[in-house]
Amino acid sequence: MGTMEFQKDPSAVALEMLLIVQPEKRKPVQRLQVDKQTESHASRQSQGFRGDGNGNNNLKQYQGNVLHGHAAQMQQAITSCSAQGTHVTVEVHARNSTPQLFKKLSFGKGFQENGKHKPRPPGLKDQHAYPWDKSRLKSLPFDLKDFEKLDAYATKVTAKSSVEDLVKTLLRVARTDLEKVRAIWTWICHHIEYDVVGFYNKDQQSFKPRDVLQSGKSICEGYAGLFEQMCSIAGVQCMNLSGYSKGHGYRTGQTFTGEYDHAWNAVYLDGRWHLVDSTWGSGSIDECFSKFTFRYNEFYFLTHPALFINNHFPDNSNWQLLKPTVTLKQFESNMLYKSDFYKMGLLTALPETPVIQTVKGKVVVAVESHSSMLFMFELQGTKEYSLMTLKRNGMNLELYPQKTGSHKLQIYAKPSKGSDEVYSCVLEYTLECSSVEKNVSFPKELHQPVGPSWFSERQGFLKPSQKGPVIHTNDGRCDLSFILSKDLSVLASLHSDNIGLSEDTARRHILQVCEGNRVDFKIHLPHAGNFAFKIFAKKKSDPGNYNYVFNYLICCPNTKVKWPVFPQNYSKWVEGYELVEPLAGLLPADRNIKFKLKLHSIAKAFVQCEKTCPLSIGKDGYWEGSCSTSGCTEVYVMVLENANHKFYSHILKYEVEPQ
């Protein structure tokens, strides 16, 4: 592949050159032969790329974070050697052709005319060589642990006065071709900075490997050119490739025309070609395309071709190393999966198209993964109502955009283990919303994800009586129960967008009963509508605050629903107590009210109203009795924990309706 450093004169044309090597002490004679058709083709391509990396001639604001840059339309240099070793032919072919002759003289081991290892362009052998089971990220299997010492060494090597000296130093710890390529890759990814300023001044840049080495920065063509020369010095066959990329500035669903915008490499290892992109392996740039940050990305080293084609489309389809190959139209319409999508073990995403049309104001997205993952999302340009549920191997997301038009949806993920890790963007969609679903409205306090999952199980909540994220009730009442696998204290809260419902009042619409490792909730809604039911927990031995665990969405369409609060309970209402009746915290006036409770470890119990009414324990273990609400505004249930004590403790408080 001819890169920019070989085009000293932008209008120059390199075609076929015959170099006649005479006996010693005679000067070599050079003859240059030019084919008019090839000359015209080369002249067109020698102009380089002056667009924004996506076939546009004017620079625009960038909004991605993957690097690309100035990649030339490239040609293949093909050499042949006579048996006497005195006649060398150099042919330059257009990149979109597959030459029949492909031989290279090398001072390293390898690619000689009569040798056993003959470099070749990718063919059917390569296209069949990379089966993919959705789990392999690499085209050549290896264990990263085997590279730990080599990577550490290569990272610490400082740049030498020449590319040759640098390679010589790196090869001190590299023996196999794979180790050589790894050392070169590691060094470039940790020492060559993406030249953000130079991207806007490409005509003033030099992409010669020695200049890239000295400056320590370049854009994609400089990365690829340096990688190629270092591999050549190391005796490893390497090719410069160019094509379209879905990198920085890529817009979902865009088409690619005109100049190619990116450059990368192919290396020949173990008899097959493999793909690398040291530019994208080195780091990323910010949203404003103003600052580069070294952030090593292992994904782009010997990337599996089935994954590489996701964001790299070579100018020659043979370099896809796939069968069948992907057309440009398919490349444009295919979903863009971020590298973290594969690195985190995510498998598939539905829909598989980057642009999604709403159906009756709704969009559904599903992601499948190898293992449990945490997800979050962001919809730009509009408010939305959403319902995300975690699965043991992925997630489901329902979205209801509240504004028509095009909206960018980004989905983030992080491993379930190591909660300190940040979320990484793994998917991007464009939502085309043609209509808004007006009948959907979720409370602001509803947190994503919704419903019980592997995450709530990990926090100690097992066997939920309600397994789905949404609880539907027509009469405004519902019950929930869990088995706790840990020694937890549990609290719950109820939230709606009704500003007239205070937090304290809403909490009194929940009655919680704990007995052993089981916790039960009774919920009586104050009115119709949608509610977020949140659950919090902490270790009983922990004096700190309660931590949020998960929540449900409770939906009640019945406008006649108007349940009163439960009675207020005090700190002496302990685990194992159960209220059977009355459940309403507001008692009718001038009525005889029956009480039934399950209490333990007490000596006496009674109800305090206008007068004291004792409760008696029955054979079933429940304390029962009754009292009249006549003449009183409040009613208390009290207990005497020890018969020798004289002080009673309040456990429940009721209010009486005014007469």
Name the catalytic one among 93, 126, 220, 274: 220
Q: Which among 393, 376, 532 is positioned nearest to 449, based on CA atoms?
A: 376
- Has 514 been annotated as catalytic? no
Using CA atoms, how far residue 223 sits from 70, 74, 194, 436, in Å, is 10, 15, 9, 48
* C-beta atoms surrounding 379 within 10 Å: 21
Sign of CA dihedral 286, 291, 297, 303: positive
What three-state secondary structure class fits 79?
strand
Residue ranges of the alpha helices (H) in 256-298? 278-282
- Has 277 been annotated as catalytic? yes
Whether 468 contacts 445, CB under 8 Å? no
Eight-state DSSP code of residue 162: S
Rounded Cα distance between 305 and 312, Å, is: 9
Name the catalytic one among 262, 274, 312, 495: 262
Name the catalytic one among 277, 407, 627, 632: 277
What is the arrangement of strands in the sheet containing 547-556, beginning at the earlier edge strand? 470-472, 547-556, 529-539, 488-495
Amino acid symbol at 593: I
Using CA atoms, how far residue 138 sits from 42, 135, 238, 240, 266, in Å, is 35, 9, 18, 20, 13
Whether 387 contacts 451, CB under 8 Å? no
DSSP bridge pairs for 523:
478, 510
Q: Which among 607, 594, 605, 616 is positioned nearest to 634, based on CA atoms?
A: 607
* C-beta atoms surrounding 68 within 10 Å: 31
Q: Which among 12, 55, 15 is positioned nearest to 35, based on CA atoms?
A: 15
Rounded Cα distance between 317 and 24, Å, is: 44
Q: Please give the structure tokens belonging to residue 26.
A: 């005679």
Label residue 408 left, alpha or beta by phi (over 0 means left) and psi (-120 to 50 means alpha).
beta
Q: Please give the structure tokens belonging to residue 338.
A: 């971020």
- Has 220 been annotated as catalytic? yes
Question: Annotated catalytic sites, by residue?
Answer: 220, 262, 277
